[in-house]
A and B are shown apart, each in its own frame.
Chain A
Amino acid sequence: MKIENLLHLWPGKDRHAIIENRTYDEIVVGDSAAIERTLKHQDIQLFAIASGDVNPTHLDDDFARDCGLNAATGHGMWSAALISAVLGVKFPGPGTVYTGQNLRFHAPARVGDTLTAMITATAKDDATKRVKLDCVVTNQSGALLVSGEAEVIAPTQKISREITRLPDLMFEDKAARYERLIGISKGLEPVPMAVVHPCDGQALRGALDARDAGLIVPILIGPEEKIRAVAAAEGMALDGVSIIDVAHSHAAAETAVRMAHEGEVRALMKGSLHTDELMSEVVKRDGGLRTSRRISHVFLMDLPTYSTRLLITDAAINIEPTLEEKADIVRNAIDMAITLGIERPKVAILAAVETVHPKMRSTTDAAALCKMADRGQIRGGLLDGPLAFDNAVSLAAARTKGICSEVAGRAEILLVPDLESGNMIAKQLEYLANAVAAGIVLGARVPIVLTSRADNAKTRAASCAIAQVLAHAKNRHNG
């Protein structure tokens, strides 16, 4: 969450406001000055970070209620800090040395309260240039929140300067974004999922974590002795987990695919075998899990810098897709987006430029895909392309280029030209833009979670949550 406008933080709301101090000689006993600030939820969070005071009275509504308060309240020291703000920028202002402060906290500020911090000079000492000031912080109803007395050494030289510009601050809560992503399957029953050859700690833990989170009922398929040895070595309990004992990874893939084919499991998860070993069973003509659609992969990413989630496809399976294959990749992604609740997903077909260039196949394919959508060959989404990445995700960039489109600047699905470009986008977002990510294979009879060794536990869980949602949707579809 970005603080939209820092100017709200300072009364006057003028970035170029001038602050001027009041020198010792200019201060008359009885003079006063005030500032006003409205407490926002972000202020409480920011103050908690800056002060280290994460006392739940301030951050957790439920806990605050248990303590007899109506809702989470601002820190007393935040209210008091407004006094310091008056002293520092207004009265006496720059050049002031803060030497002491007494505070009495009478009542807490609540989110939405507008506080007024008012200070009044009460005494001067010419020898030391010290000034005593009475401090009062009240809320919009006039209730007293903080009272006290400040002591400062007032400036002797006149200072007048522009108020210091602050950088924009970003609130980043990656854990919360993961929780929200995993929350997409909230309320759904766990789905039976075949976990193919979970013979290392990471693969096994991923399956058990997803079970603990209520996302899946794992059925472990692989050499039982090996799976049990891994569980024992990692200290994981396998009580109540079904294990189907097969000799090796190839047999595990075969068994899992057969079970999915027969409807005994409704999703698959790759364990510690090679992707090709699993996928060659999945795409097998006879008894495999093929549908009329080409199989493709989608990354679902939640970014701190973009207002909606992004589906990126195909960054993992189709290396250099043809136009026909791209059409299926888009269809798969549109279906998934609709299942996830996006009514008419906006699809940006990416290239390096936003104009059709015969020497760049990505641009001619993009144009063709848009026409296919016009003619009803691709349904359910709103397609536009070619679009360069900036035009796809930034309204300002699209406007600069004069692109008039409902998709440009607010894309929800990014169709990439090939696996390499897609893979680089996805990994850059994950590593450099702090994206939280999940991945899923589409176009087979059941959703498939393909995890990579570099994936963390949360990515695995989020991927299982998507598989769960898709499996439930498929079930509704079939009957």
Chain B
Amino acid sequence: MYFEELAVGQSAETVRVVTQADIVAFAEVSGDRNAVHLSPEYASKTTFKGVVAHGMLSASFISGVLGTKLPGEGTIYIGQSLRFLAPVRPGDAVVTRVTVKEIRATAKSRGEVICLTTSRVGDVIVIDGEATVLVPKLNREAA
């Protein structure tokens, strides 16, 4: 969507079931090979009592919503705050919701938009936060 098409309150979400394969892929791509994400034997002895997904894996789903749904293609991600509130385990369905909170008009070819981001597994909020993005304007010349 273009900047002009956005309105406060608009929202979009994705649902992703986190698999052990996703966790392995994330361990590979991030380099975070902490055994709490990869070894059931080790993880069972930690405070988590079992394997948990990387917090940043669930957080990256936010990037997925922003980049593909709301605002979508062309979005430039400039900031994100995250509070990791509860663990996500393999098999959990993470619902990642992005809601437009504030629209800041700027004089440039892109406008700044603040979005609330909420990640849930069932009724439990696992991550909450706020994203800041730049969204291309429909009419760049006029801007």
Contact = CB atoms under 8 A, between A and B. Distances in A.
Interface in B18-66: 22, 24-39, 42, 46-47, 54-57, 59-66
Nearest to B31: A85
A159 B52 CA distance: 18
B2 interface: no
Contact of B82 (A19, A53, A76, A100): A100
B73 A100 contact: no
Contact of A55 (B61, B62, B73, B82): B73
B54 A49 contact: no
Nearest to B18: A50
B125 to A, nearest CB: 13
Contacts of A75: 60, 63, 67, 77
Nearest to A94: B34
Contact of B57 (A9, A50, A83, A94): A50
Contacts of B27: 164, 166
A65 interface: no
A105 B78 contact: yes
B contact residues, range: 35 or more
A57 interface: yes
A97 B47 contact: yes
Contacts of B64: 51-54
Contacts of A164: 27, 33-35, 38-39
Nearest to A6: B28
| Binding site secondary structure of chain A | mixed
Interface string A95-138: 11111111111100000000000000000000000000000000
B83 A100 contact: yes
A95 B72 CA distance: 36
Contacts of B28: 3, 6, 9, 46, 166, 169
Contact of A104 (B24, B57, B79): B79
A85 B73 contact: no
Given A101-B81, A102-B82, A103-B82, A47 B75 contact: no
Nearest to B14: A52
Interface residues of A, number: 54
A51 B63 contact: yes
Contacts of A396: none
Contact of A50 (B25, B37, B47, B76): B25
Contacts of B79: 102-105
A144 interface: no
A10 interface: yes
A99 B84 contact: yes
A63 B54 CA distance: 30
B45 to A, nearest CB: 10
A43 B29 contact: yes
Contact of B33 (A43, A49, A89): A89
B139 interface: no
A163 interface: yes
Interface in A49-99: 49-58, 63, 67, 75-78, 80-85, 88-89, 93-99
A67 B34 contact: no
A6 B31 CA distance: 10
Contact of B56 (A46, A81, A106): A81
Contacts of B9: none
Given A51-B63, A52-B61, A104-B79, A81 B74 contact: no
Contacts of B16: 52
Interface centre among B35, B46, B62 (most CB of A within 10 A): B35
Given A85-B32, A166-B24, 6 more contacts: A46-B28, A75-B77, A81-B29, A88-B32, A89-B34, A97-B47
25 contacts: A19-B34, A37-B31, A49-B25, A50-B29, A51-B60, A52-B68, A58-B67, A67-B136, A78-B29, A78-B60, A81-B54, A81-B56, A88-B36, A88-B54, A89-B33, A100-B81, A100-B82, A100-B83, A101-B59, A101-B84, A102-B79, A161-B35, A164-B34, A166-B24, A169-B24
Considering the complex of A and B, which 7 residue pairs feature the smallest CB-CB distances, nearest first? A55-B67, A52-B64, A51-B60, A88-B34, A81-B30, A85-B32, A53-B64
